C-alpha cells in the first residue's frame, strides 16, 4: 500500500552521462518496499540509488523501477528497496486490503441541502 508522504531525502547516484550526483529532494509517495521520489536528475532504469532519510539519518539502497514525467514538467522516480527495510519511513502502514477511512457524509449533505 502506498501513502502520500513528503520526507526530506538526500539521494546519491550516477547521471546518464556517468557523473556522480548528490541532491536533496523529498518523497512523493512511500510504501514499505520503496517510494516515488521527486528527482530532477536523469537516471536509468535499473540504476541503484543511495537514499538517506534526513529525519532519521538512515540510508538504504533503492533500484530505479519507474521514471514518470508529469504534465507540469516534474519527474518522479519509482524506487524499490534492494534489501528488506525494517521500516525506513518510520510509519505504520495500513493492513493489506484495508479500506480508507472516510467521514460520514450524511450531516454535510443534509446541511448543504437545507
Q: What is the pLDDT of residues 62-105, one digit of tens each?
A: 999 999 998 888 999 999 999 876 789 888 877 777 676 665 55
> b/e for 32-46, b at 16 or more Cβ within 10 A?
bebbbbbbebebeee
Q: What predicted TM-score, i.e. pTM, was given to this entire model?
A: 0.78
Q: Which CATH number fits domain 3-96: 2.40.10.220, 3.40.30.160, 3.40.50.720, 3.40.50.1100?
A: 2.40.10.220
pLDDT at 19 over 80: yes
Amino acid at each position: 500500500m502506498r501513502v502520500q508522504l513528503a520526507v526530506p531525502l538526500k539521494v546519491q547516484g550516477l547521471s546518464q552521462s556517468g557523473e556522480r550526483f548528490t541532491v536533496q529532494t523529498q518523497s512523493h509517495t512511500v510504501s514499505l518496499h520503496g517510494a516515488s521520489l521527486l528527482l530532477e536528475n536523469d537516471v536509468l532504469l535499473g540504476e541503484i540509488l543511495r537514499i538517506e532519510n534526513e529525519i532519521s539519518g538512515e540510508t538504504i539502497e533503492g533500484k530505479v523501477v519507474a521514471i514518470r514525467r508529469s504534465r507540469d514538467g516534474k519527474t518522479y522516480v519509482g524506487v524499490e528497496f534492494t534489501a528488506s527495510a525494517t521500516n525506513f519511513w518510520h510509519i505504520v502502514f495500513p493492513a493489506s486490503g484495508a479500506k480508507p477511512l472516510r467521514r460520514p457524509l450524511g450531516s454535510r449533505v443534509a446541511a448543504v441541502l437545507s
